[in-house]
Structure 1
Amino acid sequence: MDISQIATAAEHADGAAPLDEATWLTLRHHPERVRTWVREGAFALLVGEELTLVVHPDKRGRGLAGELLGEVLTAYDGELRAWSHGDHPAAAKLAQAHGFDRVRELWVMRRDMANPLPPLTKRDGITVRGYEPGDADELVRVNAAAFAAHPEQGAMDAANLAERMAQEWFDPAGLLVAVEGDRMLGFHWTKRHSPELGEVYVVGIDPSAQGRGLGKTLTLAGLHHLADGGAREVLLYVESDNEPAIAVYAGLGFGHAARDTHVMYRRVRA
């Protein structure tokens, strides 16, 4: 079994993908940045300080995860971060046994698109439109400003943007930008996992434009775009402590179930 087969089987069993998009992009475009440990039916990947450890459902309960983690910790004694996609009790037990602390929670919120959306409203002097050639520099600028404190999204540069846009799912019409004159104020990048399932992929607002209701305006515009394309459900990811964003999403009909919680664990240098 290769990494893809193990990851696919784990996703089917757990209801959550064990590898995020950033890890897949690194594997495909920058494999030299990935340290890999592979066993029959299990693997561990280390990208920088971020660890991914996955065991095939048929191989669980045999101590493979602990053995692999032990190998990683023997080879690497720096700080480590690892996600549990779905907050699995087995992952919590493994983390506790090896000195990892629970440090971050990421919620998945979902919306049933059978519920009517609020109507779109225009904002004076602001145009919301799809991505156009020539928008890349402004998009990278707004993203960097909006996510300056975010360890993953904030690192997107022009090359990473191009890699994301090269994915099969990318649709320029689904990358909505809000512009005022020649200046971009924010964006909402939507994503389609299937014709029926859409995602609020990234919403970023330039800090200088915050307080003008653009987050709600752009989120709603993206939801209408996904609904017009046939989406029956839309999901999004949000930090569990981001109360303003959660309030906006809840007001637009999104809800969160406990099972839709991803947990980050961290182990400081030994």
Structure 2
Amino acid sequence: MSELPQTTVSIHQVSDELDERTLSDVRQLAKDSLNVDGNPPLSDQTLVALAADDASENIITLLAEVGEGTESVLAGIAVVVREAADQPWVLEVVVHPDHRKTGIGRALLTKLSELIDLPQAQAWAHGDHEAAKKLASRIGMSRVRELYRMRREGTDFLEEAPVDRRISVRSFRVGEDEPSWLESNSQAFVHHPEQGSLTLSDLEARMAEDWFDPSGFFLAFNAEQKLVAYHWTKIHQSSGESIRPTGEVYVVGVVPEAQGMGLGRSLTTTGINYLLEQGVDAVILYVDAENEAAVKLYRSLGFTLWDADIMYGPQPID
């Protein structure tokens, strides 16, 4: 990696919540990186944490700026977030495409190592990039998790899968379904490190995003009107060379008692067809590489492996 640029580079920690202008700059940085890399560089959970109204001891934000005074611009950001004080830090680093290979990523990590035990943290690399491998190796991290990014091309609709006649499906109702969804989500993802721990604040933060549309959030209820499964879709507006938006199977959940009824496949099909009706030309999703059953299901629906996000963590002890 080359040395730091001659232009003035400053790394500083944000001790309070991000102001509107800085948050806007961070979102633009993420968008510019997405346009170049094809991968969102910051997870939804990180963006939610950055946009929170109150500062927390469970988030540390470092900003890298180049230039001086009114001429300075945001060139990079490092964020670590944890669920609680006894949980590991999860790191994401983004450097603007115009300022890469100038040592900014290394400078952010050097500063961060003064604040936390960096080799004991976990770090997401959105895309299996060589630069991320080198940075992870430099600070003593190895691959601990792989998240597939799968993609379904084209606008062919899927045949709707039959549903048990005792099951009713409707869209999410804001102000009514939040408690029941949170309960079913925690049951469906009890062993999932991020999704299963979502709180009402997390849900409300996502509902406040521009992309949220309750009409694309499908809920399945049993005969007792208990929420037993759901499919939350998402639409990404066109970016880079794309002309049409891209749909996403954002999250599909089925509570344990309703598994084996075909609800996952049925709701996934419903959501994909809904996304196609909205004019997307491709649908993406993320799934753990080790979840063989889910990967098999998505392949049967026309998805193929597109890319992968890699989590790096402490190297295992022999």
Q: TM-score, normalised by structure 1?
A: 0.92
Partner of 1:92: 133
For 1:154-233, what aligned pairs fall within 5 Å after superposition? 154-181=196-223, 182-194=225-237, 196-233=245-282
In structure 2, how many angstroms separate the alpha carbons of the residues matched to 1:65 and 1:117? 43
Partner of 1:65: 105
Q: Does 1:44 align with 2:85?
A: no
Q: CA RMSD in A?
A: 1.9
The Cα shift of 1:134 comes to 2.3
The Cα shift of 1:144 comes to 0.1
CA contact (8 A) 2:161 2:265 kept: no
In structure 1, how many angstroms separate the alpha carbons of the residues matched to 2:54 and 2:108? 20
The Cα shift of 1:93 comes to 0.7
Look up the SS of the partner of 2:305 in the other structure.
strand
In structure 2, how many angstroms separate the alpha carbons of the residues matched to 1:60 and 1:159? 35
The Cα shift of 1:122 comes to 3.6
In structure 1, how many angstroms separate the alpha carbons of the residues matched to 2:276 and 2:124? 31
Look up the SS of the partner of 1:29 in the other structure.
coil
For 1:1-270, what aligned pairs fall within 5 Å after superposition? 2-30=25-53, 32-33=55-56, 34-40=59-65, 41-48=75-82, 49-77=89-117, 79-132=120-173, 133-181=175-223, 182-194=225-237, 196-257=245-306, 260-267=307-314
The Cα shift of 1:105 comes to 0.7
Amino acid corresponding to residue 83 of structure 1 in structure 2: W
Look up the SS of the partner of 1:74 in the other structure.
coil
In structure 1, how many angstroms separate the alpha carbons of the residues matched to 2:79 and 2:121? 12
The Cα shift of 1:31 comes to 5.6
5+ unaligned residues in a row in structure 2: which ranges?
1-21, 66-74, 83-88, 238-243
The Cα shift of 1:262 comes to 0.6
The CA deviation string for residues 85-127 of structure 1, in whole angstroms up to 9 with x for no partner, is 1111011011011101110111111112323412342422111
Amino acid corresponding to residue 311 of structure 2 in structure 1: M
Deviates more, 1:239-248 or 1:225-234: 225-234
Look up the SS of the partner of 1:253 in the other structure.
coil
The CA deviation string for residues 164-213 of structure 1, in whole angstroms up to 9 with x for no partner, is 11222222221101111211110000111136311100100001111111
The CA deviation string for residues 230-268 of structure 1, in whole angstroms up to 9 with x for no partner, is 2221111100111000111111111113xx111001137
Look up the SS of the partner of 2:55 in the other structure.
helix
Q: TM-score, normalised by structure 2?
A: 0.79
The CA deviation string for residues 111-164 of structure 1, in whole angstroms up to 9 with x for no partner, is 123234123424221111111252222111110011111111111122222221
Identity of aligned residues (%): 39
The Cα shift of 1:15 comes to 1.4
CA contact (8 A) 2:61 2:79 kept: yes
Residues 5 and 191 of structure 1: is their aligned pair in 2 closer, same or farther, counting only changes over 3 Å? closer
In structure 2, how many angstroms separate the alpha carbons of the residues matched to 1:71 and 1:167? 31
In structure 2, how many angstroms separate the alpha carbons of the residues matched to 1:61 and 1:159? 37
Amino acid corresponding to residue 39 of structure 1 in structure 2: A
Partner of 2:86: none
Deviates more, 1:27-36 or 1:103-112: 27-36
Residues 228 and 11 of structure 1: is their aligned pair in 2 closer, same or farther, counting only changes over 3 Å? closer
